[in-house]
């Protein structure tokens, strides 16, 4: 199907056809912008130069979702479009690589394949095993971790693969989640879902620590990053240690 850059997708189309046409139009617009005679600014961009925009758009999605009084639905729709723009932009740049090109179709196919592969309880296993519609959320998460480890055998530790570019707090919490699922954490607070009041209390204590850090001239991000690095090293040593009798 060939779709031009102009014209609306058409509200009278069936939902699936409308979505396909709208996405194809967005891809066509991006291609036009990067092609000769298109936008000179867009043509100059690289994967690296776009990173700041990708992070910024993700934060703007968060802002739309966390708006006081409820989700800003109009804002969320727009910001999700901006995130999609970044996906299309990076995929278009990748398609121009002379040695290892891939396009947005490859990205979408890879995503769909991964989702099917990591949801055998819905789609059935690659080995022909049947779906398991009764599998609970905890079982799904454990299965996801097992499948992810099988797909990425180069990761020797359950803690591998947590992006180093995350902020110190977000990365520490992600490592803690991985460590807990791998059985590397000592028993801590009950993980039973808590009310909003507890979350507010935790937030206030975190805020108090940040204010204390500022008052004493300590870089809170750097301090947490250093402490978390030492803690993570200890977890990795525990993980690598031979199991006791």
- For the segment 64-105, what is each residue's pLDDT rounded down to a tens digit? 999 999 999 999 999 999 999 999 999 999 999 999 999 999
**84 and 59 within one domain:** yes
Q: Is 62 helix (H, G, I), strand (E, B) or coil?
A: helix
What per-residue confidence (pLDDT) applies to 129?
82
CATH of the domain at 25: 1.10.287.1080
**Structural domains counted in the chain:** 2
Q: Is 70 a domain residue?
A: yes
Is the pTM above the cut of 0.75?
no
- Give the dihedral of Cα atoms 147, 151, 155, 157; nearest 10 deg: 10
Top pLDDT among 28 and 166 is at: 28
Q: How far apart are CA 136 and CA 221, in angstroms?
A: 37
Task: Work out the burial of residue 101: count CB atoms within 10 Å of its CB; fewer than 13 is exposed, 13-18 middle, 19 or more buried.
Answer: exposed
pLDDT at residue 10 is higher than 70 = no
**109 and 181 within one domain:** no
CA atoms within 13 A on the CB side of 13: 11
- For the segment 192-202, what is each residue's pLDDT rounded down to a tens digit? 555 666 778 89
Domain of residue 210 covers 165-188+203-234
Distance of CA 128 to the CA centre of its chain: 29
What per-residue confidence (pLDDT) applies to 178?
86
pLDDT at residue 52 is higher than 60 = yes
């Amino acid at each position: 199907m060939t779709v031009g850059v102009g014209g609306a997708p058409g509200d009278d189309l069936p939902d699936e056809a409308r979505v396909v046409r709208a996405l194809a139009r967005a891809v066509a617009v991006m291609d036009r912008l990067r092609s000769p005679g298109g936008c000179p600014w867009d043509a100059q961009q690289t994967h690296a130069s776009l990173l700041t925009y990708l992070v910024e758009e993700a934060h703007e999605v968060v802002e739309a979702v966390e708006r006081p009084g409820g989700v800003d639905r109009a804002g969320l729709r727009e910001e999700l479009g901006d995130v999609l723009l970044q996906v299309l932009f990076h995929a278009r740049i990748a398609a121009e690589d002379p040695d290892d090109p891939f396009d947005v179709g490859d990205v979408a196919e890879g995503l769909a394949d991964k989702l099917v592969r990591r949801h055998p309880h819905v789609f059935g296993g690659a080995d022909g095993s049947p779906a398991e519609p009764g599998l609970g959320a905890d079982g799904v998460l454990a299965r996801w971790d097992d499948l992810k480890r099988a797909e990425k055998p180069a990761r020797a530790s359950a803690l591998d693969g947590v992006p180093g570019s995350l902020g110190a707090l977000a990365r520490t919490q992600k490592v803690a989640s991985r460590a807990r699922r791998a059985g590397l954490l000592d028993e801590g607070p009950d993980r039973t879902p808590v009310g909003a009041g507890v979350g507010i209390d935790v937030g206030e204590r975190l805020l108090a620590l940040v204010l204390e850090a500022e008052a004493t001239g300590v870089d809170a991000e750097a301090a947490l990053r250093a402490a978390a690095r030492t803690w993570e090293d200890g977890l990795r040593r525990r993980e690598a240690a031979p199991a006791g009798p």
